[in-house]
Amino acid sequence: MTFIAVAVPVARADQISAALETARVAKQQGADLVEWRVDSLAQEPGAASAVTRLVQDAPLPCIVTVRHVAEGGGFCGTDEQRQQVWTAASTAHPPAAYVDVELATYLSDSEAGERARDMARLGRLGGGNGPRVIVSFHDFDGRPPGLSARIAEMWSDPASAVSKVVWTARTPRDNTEAFEVLAGRAKPTIALCMGEHGLMSRVLAPKFGGFLTYARSDAQGTAPGQPTVEELVQQWGFRSIGPETRVYGVLANPVGHSRSPALHNRWFRDGRVDARLFAIAAGPTWESFKATLVELLSLDALHFSGCAVSLPHKLNAIRFVEERGGVVDPMARSIGAANTISVASDGTLHASNSDLAGVRDPLLRAASAQGWSDGLAARRALVIGAGGAGRAAVAALACAGAVVTLTNRTAARAASVAEELNGSLHRNGLSARAIAARSLQEIDTRDFEVIVQATSAGMSGGEGADDDPLPQAAALSSDMIAMDVVYTPRETPFLRRAARAGAHVVGGWSMFVAQAAQQYRNWTGHDPTTIDDVVDTSAGRSAS
Ligand code: NAP
């Protein structure tokens, strides 16, 4: 079993009651160990009796740590002060379960080093009557030089009980090195990556037999990459992660805002699929995208089984799968972009584009609600926007039998995309109606039964956050379906106008859920347990 530990800093004796309460709450939420971080307290008068109280009253087995400033802590006192804390931790009734000592101190010729090694021998030999020693090493700047040698040194020491190495991940690739450390361990080991790239190492520690992972209590504010105990237990299903758990990702740059992890992990949980999906910041270039995927695929024991791909890597996804001799779905090839990579059981990679299903499925539901018995077949549809989302919308509608017109702020781009899609859909053996292109000025919206707003106009934080790409005079009506691909905010200027006209509106969140559902089908072979009522938890909204 991999323990969940909560590190609670205690700077002064008057903070003990609050610290004990934090540990009690963490225990209720599922923590197994509390680490008392007494870096500052250790330098206060009366530190020994304060530490004794912390250890004796702890609601969980505890680790006592006095972290030196040289390793990112707050302790800059004397060896004597540090040893007083260790004595208190050892002589409390019951004693602390563990005392953490940094490798540099543990190996030193100083009195503290000797004392630490004695404590380790006693803890190891004393049948549980004294704390066992965790020997640790931290690097806040990045991967420590000589990592393997340091770990080998820790493992070869017969007295210490646990080896711990923690460093700041510079890229998602550092996680796999942490997993390799755990997989090759010669004694109980903690290998974790800090920072925004390190979440995977924390959540997947049980998959590789890590001794513990750290989580924070709700009261402790945020720490990049460190989940709360509740998130770890409830959302990540930490207790059921094992060696066979499959791993998926969403690769994008930036990726922090992605809703894919929350959505897919909920579906995995509800569908009892032993898999987890992580947000993975792949870096903006082809090289970083490729290096990230190569690393994830190279560690067999990770069981990396696929990923969602978002901007700016949808083209790179096709290139990568082609380079690895995989299969590119004809639709993804036709639009020149893939947002899904799946790894088959024989290792073959497949690239596909679920944005099509993202547009098609909600529109088909809307068509059925309108009483259109043939779905979208022969319906006159207008797509505004000739970027990635626009191309997917055009292809989805044309292949569903709609009569599609494409328009765009830059008219020439609409013309070239329409021409290209007419050729590529045909070339890739897909049956689709011919696509026309017209300038925005030529468009009379009354000619259309379906309008898809597929530009980034209306997107919060973007350049055209308040824009509606249609001219003011354009008329919308109650017998139309109006869809927006933008999902932040839920109500865009275009959708507000459509709703005022009484049109059947379909929001971008529905597209997001539908395209994710298609990815889930590709990966698991099953439908997600629920689609229609999926709540956008980040904004407290439900999909329509
Ligand atoms: P893209 O490839 O960069 O294309 C952007 C498109 O928007 C171009 O057609 C551009 O026209 C047009 N545009 C930008 N600002 C405009 C404005 N103020 N007025 C009129 N047109 C404007 O982007 P994309 O990948 O297609 O993404 C477009 C939107 O779709 C984004 O908001 C994205 O988040 C959203 N999206 C949603 C989902 C979902 O699941 N709901 C999936 C994919 C994308 P020009 O050619 O004239 O520059």
Task: State the CATH number of the domain containing residue 309.
Answer: 3.40.50.10860
Together in a domain, 435 and 499: yes
Domain membership of residue 208 (yes or no) is yes
Together in a domain, 310 and 377: no
Domain membership of residue 528 (yes or no) is no
Residue 214's DSSP bridge partners are 5
Together in a domain, 153 and 20: yes
Residue type, 194: M
Whether ligand 1 lies within 6 angstroms of the CB of 288 is answered as no
Q: Which residue numbers in the chain have pLDDT < 70? A: 126-128, 219, 221-222, 532-544
Whether ligand 1 lies within 6 angstroms of the CB of 494 is answered as no
Together in a domain, 333 and 476: no
Domain membership of residue 519 (yes or no) is no
Whether ligand 1 lies within 6 angstroms of the CB of 21 is answered as no
Domain that holds residue 412: 356-513
Paired tokens of 17: 């009651």
Residue 534's pLDDT is what? 63
Please tell me the distance between residue 243's alpha carbon and the centre of ligand 1 in angstroms.
41
Together in a domain, 181 and 315: no
- Residue whose Cα lies nearest atom 32 of ligand 1: it is 456
Whether ligand 1 lies within 6 angstroms of the CB of 409 is answered as yes
The alpha helices in 340-492, defined as continuous H runs, are 355-369, 388-399, 411-427
Whether ligand 1 lies within 6 angstroms of the CB of 213 is answered as no
Residue 192's DSSP bridge partners are 166
Domain membership of residue 113 (yes or no) is yes
Residue 127's pLDDT is what? 61
307, 278 contact by CB (below 8 A): no
Residue 539's pLDDT is what? 37
Nearest-angstrom CA–CA distance, 330 and 475: 36
**Residues acting as catalytic residues:** 138, 164, 314, 355
- Residue whose Cα lies nearest atom 8 of ligand 1: it is 387
CB within 8 Å of 479: residues ≥ 6 apart: 370, 449, 503
Paired tokens of 500: 């005022």
Please tell me the distance between residue 159's alpha carbon and the centre of ligand 1 in angstroms.
61
Please tell me the distance between residue 37's alpha carbon and the centre of ligand 1 in angstroms.
49
Percent of the chain past pLDDT 70, that is, above it, reads: 96
Domain membership of residue 540 (yes or no) is no
516, 480 contact by CB (below 8 A): no
- Residue whose Cα lies nearest atom 39 of ligand 1: it is 512
- Choose the final residue of a domain: 209, 240, 271: 240
Please tell me the distance between residue 462's alpha carbon and the centre of ligand 1 in angstroms.
10
Looking up residue 18, the CATH number of its domain turns out to be: 3.20.20.70
- Residue whose Cα lies nearest atom 12 of ligand 1: it is 455
- Choose the final residue of a domain: 326, 353, 380: 353
Q: How many CA atoms lie within 13 A of 122 on its CB side?
A: 17
Together in a domain, 169 and 263: no
Residue 123's pLDDT is what? 87
- Choose the final residue of a domain: 197, 221, 240: 240
Together in a domain, 373 and 329: no
Check the CA dihedral 55-60-65-69 and report its sign.
negative
Residue 217's pLDDT is what? 87
Domain count, the chain: 3
Whether ligand 1 lies within 6 angstroms of the CB of 458 is answered as no
Please tell me the distance between residue 454's alpha carbon and the centre of ligand 1 in angstroms.
6
Closest CA to 344 of 321, 313, 310: 321
Together in a domain, 314 and 425: no
- Residue whose Cα lies nearest atom 16 of ligand 1: it is 457
Residue 464's pLDDT is what? 87
Looking up residue 422, the CATH number of its domain turns out to be: 3.40.50.720
Residue 454's pLDDT is what? 97
Domain membership of residue 544 (yes or no) is no
CB within 8 Å of 502: residues ≥ 6 apart: 477, 478
Together in a domain, 455 and 497: yes
Whether ligand 1 lies within 6 angstroms of the CB of 507 is answered as no
Domain membership of residue 87 (yes or no) is yes
Query: Which atom from ligand 1 is nearest to the alpha carbon of 514?
Result: 40
Domain membership of residue 536 (yes or no) is no
Nearest-angstrom CA–CA distance, 145 and 315: 36
Whether ligand 1 lies within 6 angstroms of the CB of 283 is answered as no
Together in a domain, 309 and 348: yes
Together in a domain, 210 and 177: yes
525 burial (CB, 10 Å; 0-12 / 13-18 / 19+) is exposed
Residue 232's pLDDT is what? 96
Together in a domain, 267 and 411: no
Nearest-angstrom CA–CA distance, 542 and 536: 6
Whether ligand 1 lies within 6 angstroms of the CB of 206 is answered as no
Nearest-angstrom CA–CA distance, 454 and 443: 16
Residue 540's pLDDT is what? 32
Residue from 456, 536, 544 whose mutation best tests the ligand 1 pocket (most atoms within 8 A of CB):
456
